[in-house]
Amino acid sequence: MSFDLPVVLGHRGARAVKTENTIEAFRYACQSNVRWVELDAMLSGDGVVMVFHDETLDRMAGIPGRVDEFSADRLQSLTLKTGAKIPTLAEVLDVLNEFRACVNIEIKPSRPDLARETAGQVWQVVRQAGFDDPDRLLFSSFAWDALEETMTLAPHIRRGVLVEDVSGDWRPAAKKLAAYSINYDADLLNPELIREIKDGGYRLLVYTVNDPNRAKDLRARGADAFFCDDPVAMTAAFS
């Protein structure tokens, strides 16, 4: 196997089809031949790596509180509004291993001071799951110090610098991190930026794109890949 990123990555599994960041979503994506999925990795209060997007529980679980105030056991005992459960990263990697699928782990510290610890715990889980494979794994984060930590712990695993409107200047970070990719918000991109990123030698991964025409237009301008909520439909649009 070699590192071979497709045009379409399943965003939080396939969040338009199954509850985001759940076993169901990743199983569905894998069974639908989606080779690469993205997920969000966040620590529980007792330091277990969970797969969950928000820092708080209200949107998904309908209860107040922060993820980092709950133990992993408590988080796993919750039933999300859709009826699904919050998985650990280890559980998700087991499913992905079953299908030999590939993953972009977005390291999402629930607080800025947890960036390095989150990265360290993620790396431990990755190693225990036998996912220590540069061909099947890409790290990314809006918390660039988390990526710095992965660079120390696992320099052979590619790094994607995530950028959103409050991120600041990605250029020095990308250089320092020897980034493989710049993962940019579709709504913030413009033709000059696309050119600059590509001229800099980086891959350009764009989130979140669900309109095939928009994806095709961005692709024609140089974007390499897209995070898509319905990766099956988007893949069909590109074939």
- Which residue in 40, 68, 148, 149 binds ligand G3P (CB under 6 A)? 40
Binding of ligand G3P by 149 (CB under 6 A): no
Q: Taking CB under 5 A as the rule, does residue 106 contact Mg ion?
A: yes
Nearest residue to Mg ion on Cβ basis: 106
* Contact of residue 36 among ligand G3P, Mg ion, none (CB under 5-8 Å per partner type): none
Among Mg ion, ligand G3P, none, residue 183 binds (CB under 5-8 Å by kind): ligand G3P
CB of 132 to Mg ion, least distance (A): 21
Q: Choose, by CB under 6 A, the member of 51, 183, 194, 197 that binds ligand G3P.
A: 183
Nearer to ligand G3P, 38 or 149 (CB): 38
Residue number of the CB closest to ligand G3P reads: 207
- The contact pattern for ligand G3P, residues 196-235, with x = CB under 6 A and - = no contact, is -----------x-------------------x--------
Q: Which DSSP string do the residues of the chain spell out, in sequence order?
A: ------SEEETTTTTTTS-TTSHHHHHHHHHTT--EEEEEEEE-TTS-EEE-S-SBSHHHHSS-SBGGGS-HHHHHH---TTS--PPBHHHHHHHHHHTT-EEEEEE--SSGGGHHHHHHHHHHHHHHTT---TTTEEEEESSHHHHHHHHHH-TTSEEEEEE-TTS--HHHHHHHTT-SEEEEEGGG--HHHHHHHHHTT-EEEEE----HHHHHHHHHHT--EEEESSHHHHHHHH-
How far apart are CB 13 and ligand G3P at their closest, in Å? 11
Nearest-Å Rg of the Cα atoms of the chain is 17
| Minimum CB distance to ligand G3P smaller for 73 or for 230 | 230
Tell me how far, at minimum, the Cβ of 163 lies from ligand G3P, in Å. Answer: 10
Which span (1-9, 19-27, 34-42, 111-119) binds Mg ion, by CB under 5 A? Answer: 34-42
Counting Cα atoms < 13 Å in the Cβ hemisphere of 131 gives 28
Are 20 and 85 in contact by the 8 Å Cβ rule? The answer is no
- According to CB under 5 A, which one of 20, 27, 30, 40 is a site residue for Mg ion? 40
Which one of ligand G3P, Mg ion, none interacts with residue 226, CB within 5 to 8 A by kind?
none
| Chain Cα centroid distance, residue 202 | 18
- When the beta carbons of 38 and 230 are compared against ligand G3P, the nearer one is 38
Residues of this chain that bind ligand G3P (CB under 6 A): 11, 38, 40, 53, 106, 140, 162, 183, 207, 227
Residues that bind Mg ion (CB under 5 A): 40, 106
